[in-house]
């Protein structure tokens, strides 16, 4: 059964360009699909499961509309339904010829325990069809996949691109620096990791990462209020147990409803077009045949060129491994693990101090006199 759409939501709330893609539908059907899409978009961050239900309801009415398949894929991704997200986002790419959501696809493969496939997606990407933010995000996911395989030095090398030191205040700049710092820490290069968490804090004005907190952790600084009294913890545990017992009946009722929803989803999956199923099966077979082919042909020009040969990783010389050049796919002019990339150390320290001050704002004057972390 389709979820109820709030009365205040109207079809005109949907973006005009997206509504244009629904013109092939009957007016009343288009309006209902539009309202479901709006509802899904409004609650995807707060209730991803309900958002997915709205998106699936829209798909039942308009399975041949690309934007609808995209909505299902993104809602499934937010809800952690990795298999559905992969199927829907692939279908969206096939229907539109775009590669908009390669990073999400690669992340789903990692979540399913298939980091090799995530790396294959990165290698096969057509950088000309990717926006800068999408290319950076795909790079971050691929580096994370290297880390999943235990190839931490390779992950560090992949992230040594010129955008790492670019004078940008975009969200991707903070995420790239944070990923690099995290990779350095995983590789055992703690001092360099600390420096890059500090650099992240200087550009992360919107606090899309927790770089400042990670910086404090590395310096062994504890913020007042973080230490919870053991008695409080015990009381909290008892209260949680009581809440769990009192809500058992509610969960049983909810399970019955969820079972009905799952049956609806299973029935809906059977409604996929035969040609869609064949295409998806073909794509899965292609991915299966490519799995593990990490040492095959050289990657295409573009984002894929950032990848590195991982043979012999673990040798001491790998920490300063050379990398290639050219946009997002380029390495830094100098290895980031060695000499510091362009940037004023004093300005970094000042900005980091500001970030730390925000976190320690509630400390009393006596605690405030303690020495702050130094870069």
* Helices 190-203 and 171-186: angle between axes, nearest 10 degrees: 170
| Cross-strand partners of 53 | none
Quickly tell me which residue has 């244009």 as its tokens.
Answer: 20
pLDDT of amino acid 205: 87
Structural domain includes residue 64: no
For 124, the 3-state DSSP assignment is coil
Backbone angles phi, psi at 222, to 5 degrees: -110, 125
Q: CB atoms < 10 A from the CB of 132, how many?
A: 16
Q: CB atoms < 10 A from the CB of 115, how many?
A: 23
Q: Is the pLDDT of residue 189 over 70?
A: yes
pLDDT tens-place string over residues 203-246: 898 899 999 999 999 988 876 655 544 445 555 545 544 454 44
pLDDT of amino acid 319: 39
| % of the chain beyond a pLDDT of 70 | 59
DSSP assignment of 228-248 equals PPHHHHHHHHHHHHHHHHHTH
Q: CB atoms < 10 A from the CB of 288, how many?
A: 11
What is the pTM for the complete model shown?
0.63
Mean pLDDT check: name the lowest of 95-104, 189-198, 290-299: 290-299
What is the domain extent for residue 241?
A: 150-274+299-375
* Helices 248-270 and 230-246: angle between axes, nearest 10 degrees: 70
Quickly tell me which residue has 């899409």 as its tokens.
Answer: 37
Contact present, 93 and 101 (Cβ < 8 Å): yes
pLDDT of amino acid 36: 98
Structural domain includes residue 43: no
pLDDT tens-place string over residues 251-269: 444 444 444 444 444 444 4
Structural domain includes residue 10: no
Diameter of the chain measured on Cα atoms: 71
Structural domain includes residue 335: yes
Give me the mean pLDDT over the 180-198 stretch: 97
pLDDT of amino acid 54: 98
Q: Report the number of distinct structural domains present in the chain.
A: 1
Residue 214 tokens read as 């990670």
Rounded Cα gap, residues 50 and 75, in angstroms:
9
Structural domain includes residue 352: yes
List, in order, residues 6 or more apart from 264 with CB less than 8 Å away.
Answer: 1, 56
Structural domain includes residue 21: no
Rounded Cα gap, residues 299 and 149, in angstroms:
19
Contact present, 122 and 106 (Cβ < 8 Å): yes
pLDDT tens-place string over residues 149-178: 999 999 999 999 999 998 888 899 999 999
Structural domain includes residue 68: no
Residue 186 tokens read as 């995983």
The residue among 128 and 156 whose pLDDT is bigger is 156
Contact present, 307 and 158 (Cβ < 8 Å): yes
pLDDT of amino acid 368: 46
Structural domain includes residue 325: yes
């Amino acid at each position: 059964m389709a979820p109820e759409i709030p009365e205040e939501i109207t079809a005109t709330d949907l973006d005009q360009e997206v509504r244009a893609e629904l013109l092939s539908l009957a007016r009343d059907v288009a309006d209902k699909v539009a309202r479901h899409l709006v509802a899904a978009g409004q609650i995807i961050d707060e209730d991803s499961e309900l958002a997915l239900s709205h998106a699936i309801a829209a798909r039942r009415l308009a399975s041949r509309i690309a934007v609808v398949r995209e909505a299902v894929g993104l809602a499934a991704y937010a809800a952690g339904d990795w298999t559905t997200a992969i199927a829907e986002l692939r279908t969206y790419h096939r229907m539109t010829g775009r590669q908009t959501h390669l990073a999400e696809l690669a992340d789903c493969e990692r979540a399913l325990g298939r980091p090799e496939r995530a790396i294959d997606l990165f290698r096969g990407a057509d950088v000309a069809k990717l926006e800068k933010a999408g290319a950076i995000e795909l790079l971050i996911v691929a580096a994370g996949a290297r880390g999943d395989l235990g190839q931490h030095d390779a992950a560090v090398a992949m992230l040594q691109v010129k955008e790492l030191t670019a004078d940008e205040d975009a969200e991707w700049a903070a995420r790239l620096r944070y990923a690099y710092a995290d990779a350095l820490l995983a590789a055992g290069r703690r001092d360099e990791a600390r420096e890059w968490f500090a650099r992240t804090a200087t550009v992360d004005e919107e606090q899309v990462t927790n770089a400042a907190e990670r910086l404090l952790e590395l310096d062994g600084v504890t913020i007042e209020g973080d230490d919870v009294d053991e008695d409080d913890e015990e009381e909290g545990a008892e209260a949680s147990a009581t809440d769990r017992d009192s809500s058992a009946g509610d969960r049983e009722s909810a399970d019955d409803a969820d079972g009905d929803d799952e049956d609806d989803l299973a029935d809906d999956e059977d409604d996929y077009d035969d040609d869609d199923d064949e295409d998806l099966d073909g794509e899965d077979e292609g991915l299966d045949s490519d799995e593990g082919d990490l040492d095959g042909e050289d990657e295409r020009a573009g984002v894929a060129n950032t990848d590195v040969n991982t043979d012999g990783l673990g040798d001491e010389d790998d920490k300063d491994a050379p990398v290639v050049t050219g946009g997002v796919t380029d390495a830094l002019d100098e290895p980031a693990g060695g000499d510091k990339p362009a940037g004023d150390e004093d300005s970094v320290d000042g900005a980091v101090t500001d970030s730390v001050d925000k976190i320690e704002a509630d400390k009393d004057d006596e605690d405030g006199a303690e020495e702050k972390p130094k870069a």
